[in-house]
Amino acid sequence: MQIIILSGGLGKRLWPLSNSARCKQFLQLLQAPDGQKESMVQRVVRQIGESALDASVTVVSGASHRDSIELQLGAKVDSVIEPDRRNTFPAIALAASYLAMEKACSPDEVVVVVPSDTYAEDNYFDAVAQMVALVNRRVAEIVLMGIAPTGPSKAFGYIVPTAEPRDGYCMVKRFTEKPDVKGAEELIAQGAYWNAGAFAFRLGDIMNVVERYVQADSFASLHRRYSELPRISFDNEVVEACPSMAVVPYEGLWKDLGDWNTLVEELPATTMGNVVLGESTKDTAVINELSLPVVCDGVSNIVVAAGHDGILVCGRDSSEYIKQYINPIHMRPMFEERRWGTYRVLDDTRYADGSHSLTKSITLHPGKHISYQIHHHRTEVWTFVEGEGLFVLDGEVRRVKAGDTVIIPVEHYHCIKAITELTFIEVQMGNPLIEEDIERFDWDWEKVVCCQKNKKNI
């Protein structure tokens, strides 16, 4: 069987720790069984590996999440990158096409789609196994997972069963995608379940839907024509139109970690980072990613989150509404984790004469490197403050260490590789100063390393 993990998002639900480059599912705030910190997506992949499922995992996400997937999951999963953000149907269609065309999976192979931000007990995957068994028995074309509602929420789709479950499942009368509160109350009165966002189906069935829009002879071709797939949810495009559906009720712990209030209930402690709580503070969670201290006293039932992009202070019951306040805020991510290391923005200043400067602290892990590149609009000055590395400017290689400074004029080729943990301060000057001002080229680091070794032996 194949499992597709949906890992998209705009990074606004857990602002300021999440952003467009580091969405909520990549925040390493949860606690793994070994006591280490893990993210939501790491938790899901770990649970799949520890379950009885014999499954291959493919994560589908946007391009801005590519480095986070490689950094956190590495070789544990395959990854499929969306050319642009569209919706859950095209994302699932792209991943299914990868399985069919690139991995040559059989049309009869069972595919299960699960969200990356579900927080559930391990027996969640026992329910997934039952969903797979029902598809293999051809009980229905699509099998859903249902959650008993705790109240009329408009955040979920609703699954109305035809009867009470027997043998752990029941057929579905109809599916309704995210009704209003009044509609949700009516559906709950009919015995409806929340849609857990998990679907099981045969690969060939979803490929038949894909071919209505795009007929491609290879995955690369379909990837290029991704924009031809409709911008619509999988629920609306496939589930609501399916004539044969079954639902497996899941009764264990299940949460959609979609806001701060829900998330802090599952954190290993009420404070993280440099935090001081006064004795009169009650039911308050503080998460601080900054080196500066956060002190709280005399407050109750709030969430405080301090990150490089900003500071959030809100009532726990109000945290699900913060997205509307974040939408008008237009700023670049101030901190990013990349496969080669991390960077954080120290200063971003525009001057009266129209010039612009941007200062970053960049850390490369040992053996990692950035691409050989040029910029068309900016000059950069790098000051090395920790470690050693190999720096290349226009094909010339030199060794750099703490205390060295290099200047990279506009339109000059450059790259760097860390020998040890390497940190440098980068000052960009120019206009516009945008991440897209970059053109990448090939560079053979193996050849450089061999040359360096030969110099030592001479």
Per-residue pLDDT of 61-90, as tens digits, reads 998 899 999 999 988 999 999 999 899 999
Question: Lowest mean pLDDT: which of 139-148, 407-416, 447-456?
Answer: 447-456
The token pair at 377 is 């609009």
pLDDT band at 363 (very low <50, low <70, confident <90, very high): very high
Q: Which of 210, 234, 256 is the last residue of a domain?
A: 256
Task: Give DSSP secondary structure letters for 332-384.
Answer: --SEEEETTEEEEEEEEEE-TTS-EEEEEEEEE-TT-BPPEEE-SSEEEEEEE
| Full-model pTM | 0.89
Q: What is the pLDDT of residues 340-358, one digit of tens each?
A: 999 999 999 999 998 999 9
CA-wise closest residue to 192 among 205, 202, 179, 207:
179
Per-residue pLDDT, 228 = 96
Asked if residue 119 belongs to a domain, the reply is yes
Question: Lowest mean pLDDT: which of 128-132, 279-283, 397-401?
Answer: 279-283
The answer, yes or no, to whether residue 366 has pLDDT greater than 60, is yes
Per-residue pLDDT, 457 = 44
Q: What is the pLDDT of residues 199-224, one digit of tens each?
A: 999 999 999 999 999 999 999 999 99
Q: Is the dihedral of CA 13, 16, 19, 24 positive or negative?
A: negative
Structural domains counted in the chain: 3
The residues, any chain, with a CB within 8 Å of residue 330's CB and separated by 6 or more, are none
The answer, yes or no, to whether residue 109 has pLDDT greater than 90, is yes
Residues 221 and 357 placed together within one structural domain of the fold: no
Asked if residue 204 belongs to a domain, the reply is yes
The answer, yes or no, to whether residue 333 has pLDDT greater than 90, is no
Give the HSE-up count for residue 323: Cα atoms under 13 Å, Cβ half-sphere: 11
Task: Using a pLDDT cut of 90, give the percent of the chain over it.
Answer: 78
Report the helix count and the strand count for the chain, using DSSP H and E.
11, 30
> Which letter does DSSP use for residue 63 in this model?
G
Range of the domain at 276: 260-319
Residue 401 parent element (H or E): strand 396-401
Residues 103 and 221 placed together within one structural domain of the fold: yes
Residues 394 and 274 placed together within one structural domain of the fold: no
Residues 283 and 346 placed together within one structural domain of the fold: no
CA dist 175 to 237, 240, 320, 353, Å? 12, 6, 25, 59
Per-residue pLDDT, 410 = 97
Q: What is the pLDDT of residues 50-61, one digit of tens each?
A: 999 999 999 999
Residues 418 and 296 placed together within one structural domain of the fold: no
CA-wise closest residue to 71 among 42, 102, 34:
42
Instruction: Walk across the sheet containing 372-374 and list its strands.
Output: 396-401, 388-393, 414-418, 372-374, 439-441
Asked if residue 18 belongs to a domain, the reply is yes
Residues 270 and 358 placed together within one structural domain of the fold: no
